[in-house]
Amino acid sequence: MNNKDLAKNVLDLVGGEQNISGLTHCATRLRFVLKDDSKADLKALDQLEGVLRAQNSGGQVQIVIGAKVDAVYSEVRKLTSDRIGGGEETADNGPKKRRNPVNVVLETIAGIFTPVLPALVGCGMIKCLSTVMAAMGWLEGSGFLTIINMIGDLIFYFLPFFLAVSAAHRFKTNPYLAVALAAGLMHPTILNAAAQIADTGVSTIDFLGMPILLMKYSSSVIPIILAVWIMSYVYPLVNRVIPKFLQVLLTPMIVLFIMIPLELIVFGPVGSHIGDWLTNGINSLFSTAGVLAGAILGFFKPIMVMFGMHYAIMPIQVQQVATLGATVLLPTALAANLAQAGAAFGVFFLTKSKTMKSAAGSSGFTALFGITEPAIYGVTLKYKRPFFAGCLAGGLVGGFYSLVHTTANAIALPGVLALGTYTSDRYMYVVIGCIAAVVLGFVFTLIAGIKEDTAGATTKQPANGAVDGVQSVIAAEQTSAFTSSQDSTSTDMLIVSPMTGEIKPISEVEDQAFAQELMGKGIAVVPTEGKVYAPFDGVVEALYRTKHAIGLKAANGVEILIHIGVDTVSLKGKYFNAHIQQGQAIKAGDLLVEFDPEGITAAGYNTITSIVVTNMQQYGDVLTTATSGPIRESEALIKLIP
């Protein structure tokens, strides 16, 4: 599925543009703030091709995409109006739902910092390059190295400007006035006077009898966020009391006259002190109980990633780098990421599934570079044991990094490409920790092992369209109704045809997900009747709302997907009528779905129906009883060999 189709399906499954209150994205996931969370179909979103996981966490519907999230975000923005995006929430006159204050705070932090992340990571990687060049003595004293250092430091010298724009979008206020607030903190009148306090002895400026403390705000985080937040209330209040014909002239002037002194007298000093307390508190924790603190953070980092909570500590990391020149938090994230990479490589070594080997190998390398969502959602979490094996390895190495006082002097993705930004008692300890994290994650996974049958029942594989991007996730208990063939051994099982029609090879389906057996092995039927019957006793585990695709499972674990037509998801349920519901128990021969073959054909769609075994990796072979010719409902169609 291409990015545009994925964006369309995501937009539809979150309830459409009218249900979106705000939208941002980070390095790996789309983050929706919805007016009504119940309208989001998380199960269908979770099963889309290209989606690693969909979840509701921290007051957001988070859709983990992976490395191409920026491209998908751009496609979503193209499909929505300008009022959606950048964390900006749309007007909603409906009833307001009460939200957990903690979730609101975490959501706000993520909404402000995730748009700034590209600049943070970009400057961080440049900082890594300059650090390596300086350590190697390359181009020392050259203009080239000077400019490289300058680029690496840009984000921290002018951080209030970046945060002002992002916070303005988040708090739905004027971004240009927000930048003016940042300029008030960064003006030479304040910065130069603050730098000369030791020489002049002057630490304040009098403003109508109130003291303005002279402080350096160039790398501050909290002051500008507080100021923009308060301005989001002051601006509309001023606008309401000013006559409309004077608003253009007077509103900005009055807002700045109120806000600049207010931020310099109150929010700047208060925010700076809060930032210092947080920074010093974390450093004190690591200095008194460093090994334990590092181990806890190293263990829980992947769990924080699962819930999208890892950006909640971003302000502390930034504040530490800005005020102290280094952060003690990023090394624990480095340990956790590399440990999950090792766990993914362990799955690669253990699994017998070619599909999972490919996923484990590629996502393991991605995790080495600092992006762990593909490894977590696509591999280790599916088997559970490797995930916790990686957490344990990350905790041990996180404790080790704290023991040897490892820090990072820039904000960059915690992976091998950013190793130049890390320092320790001896740099060799950084390298030893990296190797140990990967090796321990790998070894602990080998010790814990994996259960192929458990993972096989939940492994997603790509398909076409919205359920065409769906891999049935089938997991309920059912009674078996498979019959033994008289021409086969007693252990062979037969699946009967769910419809009447003409058999065709699966390779003739004009959908590569089925034709190339990416969804599973099976057969195709061109229906001559518009009815689909249950081929066995079982449970309906997946019924897409457009009714064109059904996932079924029997008690012995066999899973099938019946997909009626090609691209028929686009019909949005027209010409289809379901007689069952998801989760409903069924008996062999029950009528599941009726459809109108002539209407579907007249609408320009092919009715060829794919019938595939989606957990084929659990069987020795999946055979078809014929590759052509007529077949009637309930006649033998597919043979499963254990």
Which sequence positions are flagged as catalytic? 26, 563
Q: How far is the C-alpha of 601 from the C-alpha of 509, rounded, in Å?
A: 15
What is the helix (H) or strand (E) element at residue 101, kind and residue range? helix 101-113
Sheet holding 636-641, edge to edge: 493-496, 636-641, 621-624
- Single-letter code of the amino acid located at 1: M
Q: How far is the C-alpha of 632 from the C-alpha of 496, rounded, in Å?
A: 9
Q: How far is the C-alpha of 148 from the C-alpha of 332, rounded, in Å?
A: 27
Could you count the other beta carbons within 10 Å of the beta carbon of residue 410? 27
Q: Buried b / exposed e across 444-473, counting CB within 10 Å, b at 16+?
A: bbbebebebeebbbebbbbbbbbbbbbbbb
Q: How far is the C-alpha of 292 from the C-alpha of 286, rounded, in Å?
A: 8
What is the helix (H) or strand (E) element at residue 25, kind and residue range? strand 20-25
What does residue 640 show for φ and ψ, rounded to 5 degrees?
-110, 125
Which among 578, 535, 543 is positioned nearest to 563, based on CA atoms?
543
Q: How far is the C-alpha of 50 from the C-alpha of 519, rounded, in Å?
A: 14
Cβ–Cβ < 8 Å for 496, 634: yes
Cβ–Cβ < 8 Å for 40, 15: yes
Q: DSSP characters for 259-302? A: HHHHIIIIIHHHHHHHHHHHHHHHHHHHHHHHHHHHHHHHHHHH
574 to each of 17, 462, 528, 547, 548, how far by Cα in Å? 22, 24, 19, 9, 10
What is the helix (H) or strand (E) element at residue 504, kind and residue range? strand 501-504
196 to each of 182, 202, 333, how far by Cα in Å? 21, 8, 38
How many residues appear in the chain?
642
Which among 264, 113, 276 is positioned nearest to 180, based on CA atoms?
264
Residue 625 has, within 13 A of its CA and on its CB side, a CA count of 22
Which among 163, 310, 285 is positioned nearest to 224, based on CA atoms?
163
Cβ–Cβ < 8 Å for 126, 148: yes
What the block records as the tokens of 52 is 């690693």
Cβ–Cβ < 8 Å for 34, 62: no
Residue corresponding to tokens 């344990």: 392
